[in-house]
Amino acid sequence: MQLQRFEKAEDFYAGAGRLLAQREAENCLMLGLVASLGRDPGLPPEEPYMATVGEGGEAIAAALMTPPFGLVVSTVARGDPGEVLAPIVDDVRRFRVTPPGVVGPALVSRAFAELWQASEGQPYRKGTAMRVYRLRRVIPVTGVPGALRTATDRDRELLSQWFAAFNREALGEETNPEQAERLTEAYLQGETRGIYLWEDGRPVSMAGHSGPTPNGVRVNAVYTPPGLRGRGYASACVATLSQKLLDKGRRYCFLFTDLANPTSNRIYRAVGYEAVADVDEYKFP
């Protein structure tokens, strides 16, 4: 097996694209990051880590990291994930930034975490257990008052507040006002992102998209304030946005759910999203 490190996103995609596209849903996070590098103001400006492990002239695994975020690992085309990932572990040790964690298909991310602990003596703990869903056809939501609209500059203050609340609730992360404003700017102005509001007399729910893939796009940042939940706003917002993205030519929409949140998993299945695979995050405390 041969490891190859890349400096340019287009070269990395040339080397890893076929591997990633074979399991597009499971690899949608990495595919979206590659497509967004250099085009998305929400991504850190620091040099990313990009590498593949090849065998017989083709990539069988890939890894990408955009510091300060953790390492993303791909599906493994063949072989034991522990053996295939060993060259990446060894190479990441020499990268200028130590990964704060890893995320990827359940068996693959676990294999990397175990290898990292054996190599560095650094313990790991499981972060968020997720499931990636794929939608081909929307099941319409009816009987919910309001309509979807594109968020604008006039919504900046509200969006910043809701992004901070979403990060706190969904990701367990505190977001200061400056970070929330940068995130808002990325969704309002980013070439590969978009943000929408469901309005029923006033904004009542939010959903966005980012990370385009060869055939799809990832829906994310779904948030409804606690006092407005249970009225179908999030379901209508996600369903309408997903249909809008399909109407623009996407074959699929993808999204990640937290398995600890049964409500969100139920909502997404009800509007047409189908479970594809489990994706786990491990943190290196």
Of the candidate ranges 21-35, 132-146, 171-185, the one whose mean pLDDT is the lowest: 171-185
Phi/psi of residue 256, nearest 5 degrees: -110, 140
Alpha helices by DSSP H, listed for 205-255, are: 233-247
Instruction: Report the alpha-carbon distance of residue 92 to residue 97 in Å, rounded.
Output: 8
Average pLDDT over residues 88-102: 95
CATH topology for 2-123 is Aminopeptidase (3.40.630)
pLDDT digits (tens, 9 = 90+) for 229-267: 999 999 999 999 999 999 999 999 999 999 999 989 999
**φ, ψ for residue 189, nearest 5 deg:** -115, -15
The stretches of 24-97 forming alpha helices (DSSP H) are: 28-36, 81-92
174 pLDDT higher than 70: yes
The model's pLDDT over 176-207, given as tens digits with 9 standing for 90+, comes to: 888 899 999 999 988 899 999 999 999 999 99
57: left (phi over 0), alpha (psi -120 to 50) or beta: left
Q: DSSP assignment, residue 46?
A: S
pLDDT at 175: 84
Query: Which is it for strands 273-283 and 101-105: parallel, antiparallel or unpaired?
Result: antiparallel
Residue 46's pLDDT band (cuts 50, 70, 90)? confident
Distance CA 275, CA 123 (A): 30
The tokens for 173 are 């992360």
pLDDT of residue 42: 65
Superfamily holding 135-276: Gcn5-related N-acetyltransferase (GNAT) (3.40.630.30)
The pLDDT of residue 41: 62
Do the domains 2-123 and 135-276 sit in the same CATH topology, yes or no? yes
Domain ranges of the chain: 2-123, 135-276
For the chain, percent helix, then strand, then coil, each to nearest 5?
Answer: 40, 30, 35
